[in-house]
């Protein structure tokens, strides 16, 4: 499943884009979840690497789209952003904050499909690798970017992903080796966290896609170093 969101204060324009995303998913036989925000501040409160595609207006209340994208880029988030605006003369400024493309209002479905096809191809180059896990007698393929964290419990490894939780008989050492090229770090001996989905550090806890996990004292220093490297652009 791909995760998309629309940041648009015009309700009619927002509904139209959401319908286009769902229609595109049906046409390409790909599932999308779609979230909506009416302003940039509420979007920033929820973002933290949890979206694959963001469709954002430039003119928004309280904070414009350019500043919102600048802030998520400062956190190292490489989400694909497409500006949807009637201010074509300003949209080119989006390239300063690595905006993928822009669409001028009013948005036609044909134009949307062309942009979305390009965005999907781009996503394949940044989404990272996929892994296979053995779940009882079944094999399941997971996108590494969709894994929130891996938990060790009772000689099993549980992959907590956006589409669900999947349990496999494995050792944490093997999981760490499999994910060594991705931005993961241990916050304690039981949790291997995808740094892409970290939204906050609160004392001895880390918030990962809305879930609170404990940070052990002996892992905290190394975990924070790896998190800072990732947020600073040094992560993979």
pTM greater than 0.75: no
Alpha carbon distance 148, 41 (integer Å) = 23
Q: How confident is the model at residue 91 (pLDDT cuts 50, 70, 90)?
A: low
Q: Indicate whether 127 pLDDT > 90.
A: no
The predicted-structure confidence for 92-121, as pLDDT tens digits, reads as follows 777 778 888 999 899 999 999 999 999 998
Q: What's the whole-number average pLDDT of the chain?
A: 88
Comparing 2-11, 71-80, 130-139, 153-162, the range with the smallest average pLDDT is 71-80
């Amino acid at each position: 499943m791909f995760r998309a969101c629309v940041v648009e204060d015009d309700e009619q324009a927002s509904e139209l884009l959401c319908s286009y995303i769902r229609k595109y998913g049906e046409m390409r036989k790909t599932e999308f979840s779609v979230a909506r925000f009416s302003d940039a501040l509420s979007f920033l409160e929820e973002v933290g690497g949890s979206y694959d595609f963001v469709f954002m207006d430039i003119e928004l209340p309280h904070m414009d789209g350019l500043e919102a994208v600048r802030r998520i880029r400062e956190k190292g988030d490489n989400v694909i952003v497409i500006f949807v605006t009637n201010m074509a003369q300003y949209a080119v400024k989006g390239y300063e904050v690595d905006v993928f493309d822009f669409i001028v209002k009013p948005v036609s479905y044909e134009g949307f499909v062309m942009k979305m096809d390009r965005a999907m191809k781009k996503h394949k180059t940044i989404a990272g690798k996929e892994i296979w896990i053995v779940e009882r007698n079944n094999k399941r393929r997971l996108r590494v970017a969709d894994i929130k964290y891996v938990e060790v419990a009772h000689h099993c490894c549980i992959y907590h992903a956006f589409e669900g939780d999947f349990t496999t008989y494995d050792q944490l050492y093997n999981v760490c080796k499999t994910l060594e090229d991705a931005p993961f770090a241990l916050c304690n001996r039981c949790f291997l966290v995808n740094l892409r989905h970290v939204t906050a550090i609160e004392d001895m806890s880390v918030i990962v896609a809305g879930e609170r996990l404990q940070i052990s004292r002996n892992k905290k220093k190394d975990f924070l170093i790896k998190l800072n490297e990732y947020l600073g652009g040094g992560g993979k």
